[in-house]
Chains A and B, each alone.
Chain A
Amino acid sequence: EVQLVQSGAEVNKPGESLRISCKVSGYRFTAYWISWVRQMPGKGLEWMGTIDPSDSYTTYSPSFQGRVTISGDKSVSTAYLQWSSLKASDTAIYFCARHNLKALAGIPYWYFDLWGRGTLVTVSS
């Protein structure tokens, strides 16, 4: 089955570091980009950044640049989102989503299709 399996809920204190994961199965890890998306309590979706697992090329939203690091490990087909120093405002659900670019008859199409179920991160002293 094609799926993105995210790591379990986390409870951390401000200032702690954290890494959450998104393990893919049912397809070749390097064939699709993986994006991370934040959803704060009761709020909308925010695109944080993305990684191309084939070469670990990453891009970030200006809102998240320098605040988080996205990485990937081809040996375990897993993408990661990490913080070096959490803040209370990082409390949110974090989703991973795969996407890709395809061309049909010379026309490019970017598509998002599969999402993980989300990881709840709670940061509280």
Chain B
Amino acid sequence: QTVVTQEPSLTVSPGGTVTLTCASSTGAVTSANYPNWFQQKPGQPPRALIYSTSNKHSWTPARFSGSLLGGKAALTLANVQPEDEAEYYCLLHYGAIWVFGGGTKLTVL
């Protein structure tokens, strides 16, 4: 069973920069895993932020960016705003199936 691992929690100050990562138990994450990133706030459905590693949707704020970093997928938030406090999930593709990471709870403090 493939496991995708994210930091359980991170804290960042307003205006700061934070990087969330997404690792695969099968080895290095590559573009062939088509990493997607989502933001979820309490009581809401997830909202798509990034697809296929680094591509933004039309509604994705410019301060969000995606990349591959050290064998992992990464989501970087620059100039963090209070409204960025949320749970963030990555999603990786493995042939015919997809697997979510466990999520990172981002606190803006």
Contacts and interface: CB of A to CB of B under 8 A. Distances in A.
A37 B57 CA distance: 20
A115 interface: yes
Interface string A93-125: 001010000000000111111111110000000
A57 B108 CA distance: 42
A59 B51 CA distance: 21
Interface string B61-82: 0000000000000000000000
Interface in A62-121: 62-63, 95, 97, 108-118
B47 A115 contact: yes
Contacts of A41: none
Interface in A27-53: 35, 37, 44-47, 50
B51 A111 contact: yes
A61 interface: yes
Contacts of B40: 45
A110 B1 contact: no
Contacts of B28: none
9 contacts: A44-B102, A44-B103, A47-B100, A50-B98, A61-B98, A61-B99, A95-B46, A108-B52, A111-B51
Given A47-B97, A110-B93, A111-B48, 9 more contacts: A44-B102, A45-B38, A45-B100, A45-B103, A50-B98, A62-B97, A111-B55, A112-B51, A115-B48
